[in-house]
Structure 1
Amino acid sequence: MEIAVAETSLSSPELLILSGLLAVGLALVHLFSGKLRFLDATPRSLWLSISSGVSVAYVFVHILPELSAAQATIKQAVGEGLSFLEHHVYLVTLFGVAVFYGLERTAKVSRQRNQEAGNGDVTEAGIFWLHIASFAVYNALIGYLLLHREEPGVQSLFLFFFAMALHFIVNDKGLRDNHKSYYDRVGRWILAAAIIVGWAIGRGSEIHEAAIAVLFAFLAGGIVLNVLKEELPEDRESRFWGFALGAAIYASLLVAV
């Protein structure tokens, strides 16, 4: 099965409106997830672990198999000079992991420096803006992919929306831990707007199916790293069974449909 550009999203007014409404829905997740105070509990909230499991299941059951099927398409698009991508599209996924790992490390180091300087357990201003700019691009990509996914149709759209909505809740928790009130005052608004901007760009443009595959590969790497960095640290006291339950249920749903 080849990855296909979701042309029906652009030609169907109903599906276009629906994708726009879901883009607004994802933006609202950023704006209001901070109101879910039960997510701040220690041990880590069961719902956060379930959300993480859903996000990872979407990557491994839905995105990665499609990327494997798309490798030949990518080779045709890039030519012989970059033919290694026929077998190594996952390098882009690895790049996504590396980028977001680097961002997380810069945030942790910045918080340590501020603590040692007596400025509190929060990142420095420059790191805050680096994080917000990077995640704004990430969110704009997700907004774009609401219109240009690897598989067209309403069912695919809702599966993508649900996985990304839960993923944003997990991301918000991590960003709020790193940046504290700066994130609530400024960051969440920028990230919410970035989703709408990405959707608007997708509304006015259409790129090759091979490029869609590359974008999804990068997104897959970002999702995996952003989930694991929240679930693995010991001080989070994460809920393994919650993570496993979320992954199992959503993986079963994806296989069934």
Structure 2
Amino acid sequence: MEHHVSIWPVLALAFIHFFGTRLRFLAGVPRSVWLSSAGGVSVAYVFLHLFPELSEGQEHVSQLNWAEQFLNHHVYLMALIGLAVFYGLERVVVEEKYKEKREVRKEPRHQKGVFWLHIGSFCIYNALIGYILFEREEGSVQNLLLFSVAMALHFVVNDFGLQEHHKDSYRRFGRWVLVAALVAGWGVGYVVELSHTLVVLVMAFVGGGVILNVLKEELPEERESRYWAFMLGAGLYAILLLSL
């Protein structure tokens, strides 16, 4: 199957990981209005563009014989799994931070294990997004652009969250690993063509992950997030999506 491929979208998303955390004006408390707005854009995309696609894709998933007897909404189950997986990983990281504060002696080896667990999970996440990006290039330029913008802003939110958790470890190692995972996932598209059913399930998993990863950055009280900025980003992108 011929597939018209452009390298620019994946380079643009990789660029976010390279330089996103250097945007110092986005750091600090109260939470930057730009980060809150970026989170709103990502969530609006998932609910108004990605989930409607999943609803259509549900027809393909329901044709799987092994799944018909299991549940009638496999696509949304995958979205729930994506949300639950990233919630669980976030709890592991947060609990380790609390332990650090309580204990006088630190355990660097254990901390390193948590770091790689966290980064490893986001590697899988980035690789899946990279593959979806490749698949999007087969469709319309408009769909590719909408997805790329939403994911670029989502990556900025993720970068600042990961940097807050892991500090220098993320800047020195983590972001490079995430770039490699993104490009690798995109490159897999050249050699592996997943069935439409599997692509739909991957999209569902990523959609659940996006929702959790945005909200976990917005909700903590100490962040002093700007609700109005989140709603502004979500509202404006929703208007754009509904008008197309």
Query: Which TM-score band (shorter chain)?
Result: over 0.9
Q: For the structure 1 residues 150 and 75, does the alpha-carbon distance in structure 2 shift closer, same or farther, using more than 3 Å as the test?
A: farther
- Residue 37 of structure 2 is matched in structure 1 by 50
Match of 1:226 in 2: 213
Of residues 170, 174, 179, the one that matches 1:192 is 179
User: 1:206 Cα deviation (Å)?
Assistant: 1.1
Match of 2:77 among 91, 106, 115: 91
Per-residue CA distance 1:1-30 (angstroms, 9 max, x = gap)? xxxxxx7xx532xxx02xx22111111101
Partner SS for 2:135: coil
Q: Could you say which residue in structure 1 is the equivalent of 2:49?
A: 62
Which deviates more from structure 2 when the two are superposed, residues 237-246 or residues 145-154?
145-154
- The amino acid of 1:103's aligned partner reads L
Separation of aligned partners in 1, 2:234 and 2:177:
29
**Contact map agreement 2:137 2:144 (CA 8 A) in 1:** no
TM-score for the superposition, normalised by structure 1: 0.89
Q: Which residue of 2 aligns with 1:206?
A: 193
Q: How many Å separate the matches in 2 of 1:207 and 1:119?
A: 48
Change (3 A) 1:253 1:85: farther
CA shift for structure 1 position 85: 4.5
Q: Where do 5+ consecutive residues of structure 2 fail to align?
A: none
How far did 1:203 drift?
A: 1.8
Shift of 1:118: 3.8
1:114 corresponds to 2:106: no
Q: By how many angstroms is 1:130 displaced?
A: 0.3
Q: What are the Cα deviations for residues 151-207 of structure 1, in whole angstroms up to 9, with x where unaligned?
A: 812111111100000000000111011111100010000001111111110122211
Structure 2 counterpart of 1:89, one-letter code: V
Q: Which runs of 4+ in 1 moved over 6 A?
A: none
Residues 146, 199 of structure 1: 8 Å contact kept: yes
Equivalent residues, number:
241
Describe the superposition over 1:208-244 as per-residue Cα deviations: whole angstroms up to 9, x where unpaired. 1111110010001000000000001111100011000
Q: Which residue of 2 aligns with 1:124?
A: 111
Q: CA RMSD in A?
A: 1.8
Contact 2:36/2:227, CA 8 A, preserved across alignment: yes
Q: Name the stretch that deviates more: 66-75 or 52-61.
A: 66-75
User: Aligned to 1:155, which of 135, 142, 155?
Assistant: 142
SS of the equivalent of 2:30 reads coil
Give the residue type in structure 2 aligned to 1:82.
A
Alpha-carbon distance in structure 1 between the residues aligned to 2:25 and 2:105: 27
Given candidates 3, 9, 17, the residue that maps to 1:11 is 3
Percent identity reads 51
Which shows bigger deviation, 177-186 or 65-74? 65-74
CA contact (8 A) 2:67 2:74 kept: no
Instruction: State the 1:149 CA deviation.
Output: 3.6
Conserved? CA contact 2:61–2:74, under 8 Å: no
Of 160, 164, 174 in structure 1, the residue corresponding to residue 161 of structure 2 is: 174
Give the conservation status (yes or no) of the 8 Å contact 1:93–1:219. yes
CA distance in 2, matches of 1:73, 1:109: 40
Distance 1:119 1:255, change over 3 A: farther
* Structure 1: tracts of 5 or more residues without a match: 1-6
Structure-2-length-normalised TM-score? 0.94
